[in-house]
Structure formats: structure tokens, C-alpha cells
Structure 1
Amino acid sequence: MNRLVFDVGMFDGGDTAQYLRDGYDVVAVEANPEMVGDARVLFANEIANGRLKIVNAAIAEEGGEREFWICDSLGEWSSFDRSIASRGGAEHHAITVPCRTFGSLIAEFGVPYYAKIDIEGHDRICLQQLTPATAPQFISVEMEHGSGDVDLRLMKALGYTKFKIVCQALDWIDYNPATGILFERYFGGRTGRAVRKLRRIMKHAGLNPRADKYGQGTSGPPGPDTAGTWRSFETVLKQWTRLHETDKRKGAEGLGWWFDIHATK
């Protein structure tokens, strides 16, 4: 069995660490050289024994070098897009980073079993550089609230037939997928009622809250280990549409929630 995982947008290595603990080999891609330096110390043993390879580069349409914006207060907002790195007036600064195409990674390391892609506004570049022959068995991208339908259609064109939207905004809630219990004893009164209502909304919409060992702030497990039911393209497109319409009704801030789209063949 292919045990290779691509962690595109390694950040602080939270996902990479759990992939390694779960027995996967990992190629981790990160543009921020400071994060890469820290990871090379943290994962020195795994690098030495060949289970982890770290690529210090940003994914782009072509190789070379480009200006990249580092968010000083929230490193996960660092991006080619300055408006993302500076959200909410965050302090930020520019650096020059080397660039790689997603196709060049596959040519060098092989087609992964799973690719986690979370690179702040540029996930679609990876999808656009895949072909049906190079598409991983499982893949995930951060859901674009404004144009996630484009990514869903790209995934479908790559041969993916089953999808799910995973809500990452609820990873602070201890959720048991077997029983559906949200441990409401922690939430009394008005808050408790809101939590119970939220659970009903999530269940009705078919959206899956995080339920795993990866911890807050990580993207979570590979596709086969995610909570919830795999659904058709048409069903998940409708789910995305409902989320998109909710965002529009709420105005500039939208839901403010983090969702990932997962797909498999």
C-alpha cells in the first residue's frame, strides 16, 4: 500500500507529526524558512531515517522566486496574497522565496496516497497542475467560501467521485462521531441551547465536525479517517452552495468558519 502523504502547507508541523505517528511517510512543503528550520530540528530523527522530506518552497504556477508575505502575528496567514497576510490589520513583511510547481513534486517524489493542501488562497494551483493519472487517492483543500464550487468541479474532472465537507471550526468541541454527543454538560443555559441547535444544523446539512486526535489548529486526518459519510458531487455542491449563501447573508465577515473539502476516487 502507498503510505506517502504530501503535507502542502506544513506550518508548525502539527499535521506532519501525526502523519508520521500514524505510520505514513511524508513530504512536507513550507514556504516560510523559519518554520522549515524549526521543523528540521523537531523532526531530525524522521529526516535522518528517510521518513520525512521537507521542501522549503512555495507552490506556484512556475519555478523561480517570488515575493511572499509573512504574517507576524498569525503565521498560518502567510501567503502570496498580501490581503490575506494582513487581515485585520495584522503586522506583516515580505520575503523572497523559491517556488516549485506541484507537478515537479510528484515527478520527484511520486504520486501520494493523500495530499493535504492548505496554502492560504493558492490551493487551486495544485488542483490545476494535477491530471487524472497523477491525482492522489485522497485529497483535501481548504474550502473557498466564495468559489469552492470551482475546486469541486476541478476535483470531479480529475476523476474524484466521492466528497465531504469537514467543518474545522468545531474542533474545540469534543465530538464523538459514534454517538453524536457534544458533551453538553459543559454548556448550560443559552450556550447549551446554541450548541444543541448547532449540532442539529450540522447534522441536517451533512457537514462533519472534526473528530480526531490531531488537535486544534491542524487540518486533521487523511480522507479515509475523516468523520462522516462520503457523498456525491451533486450533494456536496449543494452543501457548498448553502454555505456560500449563508456567507452572503451575513455580510463582510461571513461565517468566519474554516472548512476543508475532501475527495476520493
Structure 2
Amino acid sequence: MRLWDRPGQGSSERGRPLEQPKLLPRHGRRVPLTELIYDIGMHDGEDSEFYLRKGFRVVAVEADPEICRTTAERLRTFLDSGQLTIVKRAIAPARGPLTFYRSETSGWGSVVSKWAYDNAALGVASEPITVDGITLADLVGEYGNAFYMKVDIEGMDRRALESLAATSVRPKYVSMETSFARDPSFDAVRADFEVLTSLGYDRFKIINQTQVEDQLPPQPALAGSYVPIRFTSGASGLFGEESPGPWLTRESALAQFARFVRWKWLEVRLYRNMRYYLLYCKIMFRLTGRYSNLGWYDIHAKHSSVD
């Protein structure tokens, strides 16, 4: 539940009035910005709503037509004002119609068939539907440069970002979800960093998605307006200079991820045989009440043009 949706939203838990988020585009910013954020993989719109309430314009991309409909209804005020644009397409390798595997678990839909097959092995079914596709390069060609781009599109993140090489668009900050949870190899993570480095990004943070719910926005804000929020599971969380932790070099960030891989060595080995991996997950659930998993990690990157 987002803090602004909580009962008694006019006051905080300690009885102090909550600061109402201003929608003034330059309030509280410390670096020169464009006013745009790309939300690539809008899902239920929680990330987009956070960006909007901070005062940014948002172009949100979502392939699932039902999610587009329900999120558009919830964020109608921002759509009507022109602050939010929802692009009802899938980010794809090429323009045109393609198959999107709409998952029964919201947010797990993908255009990558292997991800759909892996989801099915994990007991999560999907329905193939035909949607319209667009490349990330074509999208930014239409809407221009941005302050921040969030990419979370279930197996297409790296390939989508690769297409930016053909454009001059370089958002100041980018985040992408690693494919480690479905391709548990250090080489896969290194390939993610190589794409970001080739685009001119030279400082990085690795964010464990299970810790996003513990993030608290700084006050005063470092970009846009201060928004009092408690992130829910599945949210991307803070971004840019507000994201937690120090910026690292590529080598230091890779070394940090190598430690994560070593901590997950048993799951990594078992994932090579899905039968053994699922059996292990069931055993761990019986013992601990939690399903074991490889973990979901985001890479946040800062462009070399940013001080």
C-alpha cells in the first residue's frame, strides 16, 4: 500500500500533517534536468505515480492491455493534464505485431518465450496474445531525452537498451533489471554492464529488490518534489541521486555482484536442472515458510556526462 493511499491520509502516523507533493517541475532539484522520465514496464503504475507526484512528466510503456486500462483509470487526472502518456505497446526487437505472454501473475508478462516457459515450470501460467511492438530506439526518437529511464520488461531489458546505441538519447540515469534470476551466470550480469558502459554510463549501484520496501526518500528531495511514500513489494523504488548507496565503478559493482553469486551458489547450481531446483524450493518452503529464489537485482547507472 502506498502511503498516500492509506486511511487518514491527511496526517502521518505520528500526527504531523503529511507534506502534500508539489507538482512544480523544478522544486528541490540540484542538477540540470529534462522534465521527462521513461517508465518502461509500467505494470500497475506505482512507479509512474511516484514519478508524477515528484513533478516529472512520464512516458509509461506497457504491453498488457488490461493493465493499461485499469492503470489509465486510476491515473486519469495525470493523463487528462498531459503529465502522463501511456504507450500501449511492447518494447520489442522490431516494430510490428508480436506475441506477448500475458502472465497470470501480474508483472511477469514477457515477449521472451523462454521466460514464459520458465514461468510455467514454476507453476505460473501465461496466455499468448498478439500486441503491437516498438523498439526502444523508436520510442525515444518520438519523445526525446530524459532525466531517468526505468527498464523492467522481463528478459528484454538488455536488448532494449542496446537499441539506444543507434540514437543520441542518453538519459542521465538508467535502471534495468538483471536477468540473473532466469540466467544465473556471472557472464549474463557482465553483459548487462557491457551494454551500459558502451552507452557511456560509468557509475553504478546494484539494488536488491527485496530491500526496496525499506527505502525512504530524502527530505529535502534531491530531484523533483519530496513525496512521502512507503514502497510496496514490486516497486522499483528511489532513483538517481536518491537511490541508496554510493556510486561504484564498473569493476567494483561487478565485484559486489560476484559476492551475491557466491552467496547463492547452491541455487545457481540447482537451477541448471529445474526439477531439482523446484524440489529444493519446496523443501526450503516447508522448513522456513519461504520460497528460496535467486533474487531480483536492479542495476542503476549514472551517465558520464553527469557530475
Q: TM-score range by the shorter chain?
A: 0.7 to 0.9
Q: Kindly provide the CA deviation profile for residues 203-237 of structure 1, in whole angstroms up to 9, marking residues without a partner as x.
A: xxxxxxxxx74332211122221011001111001
Counterpart of 2:164 in 1: which secondary structure? coil
Partner residue of 2:106? 75
Check whether the contact 1:177–1:228 (CA below 8 A) recurs between aligned residues.
no
Structure 1 position 30 matched with structure 2 position 62: yes
Q: TM-score, normalised by structure 2?
A: 0.70
Check whether the contact 2:212–2:237 (CA below 8 A) recurs between aligned residues.
no
Letter aligned with residue 108 of structure 2: W
RMSD across aligned C-alpha pairs, in angstroms? 2.0
Q: Distance in 2 between matches of 1:138 and 1:50?
A: 23
Check whether the contact 1:152–1:233 (CA below 8 A) recurs between aligned residues.
yes
Check whether the contact 2:46–2:235 (CA below 8 A) recurs between aligned residues.
yes
Check whether the contact 1:67–1:97 (CA below 8 A) recurs between aligned residues.
yes
Check whether the contact 1:78–1:84 (CA below 8 A) recurs between aligned residues.
no
**C-alpha spacing 1:79/1:45, structure 2 compared with 1 (3 Å):** same
Q: Kindly provide the CA deviation profile for residues 74-105 of structure 1, in whole angstroms up to 9, marking residues without a partner as x.
A: 11111123224425111221110100000111
Partner residue of 1:127? 161
Check whether the contact 2:102–2:109 (CA below 8 A) recurs between aligned residues.
yes
Aligned partner of 2:195 among 129, 154, 166: 154
Letter aligned with residue 147 of structure 2: Y
- Which deviates the most, 220-229 or 4-13? 220-229
Q: Kindly provide the CA deviation profile for residues 133-163 of structure 1, in whole angstroms up to 9, marking residues without a partner as x.
A: 3121100000222311101111111111110
Partner residue of 1:223? 240
Structure 1 position 264 matched with structure 2 position 302: yes
Counterpart of 2:122 in 1: which secondary structure? helix
Partner residue of 1:5? 37
**C-alpha spacing 1:33/1:176, structure 2 compared with 1 (3 Å):** closer
**C-alpha spacing 1:177/1:249, structure 2 compared with 1 (3 Å):** farther
Q: Distance in 2 between matches of 1:23 and 1:76?
A: 25
For residues 100-249 of structure 1, the aligned pairs below 5 Å read 100-131=134-165, 133-145=168-180, 146=185, 147-172=188-213, 174=214, 213-249=230-266
Check whether the contact 2:93–2:159 (CA below 8 A) recurs between aligned residues.
yes
Which has the larger Rg?
2
Give 1:176 shift.
7.0
**C-alpha spacing 1:4/1:99, structure 2 compared with 1 (3 Å):** same
Segments of structure 2 that go 5 or more residues without pairing to the other structure are 1-32, 219-228, 272-276, 278-291
Letter aligned with residue 117 of structure 1: V
**C-alpha spacing 1:119/1:97, structure 2 compared with 1 (3 Å):** same
Aligned partner of 1:42 among 56, 74, 83: 74
Q: TM-score, normalised by structure 1?
A: 0.81
Give 1:112 shift.
1.3
Counterpart of 1:112 in 2: which secondary structure? coil
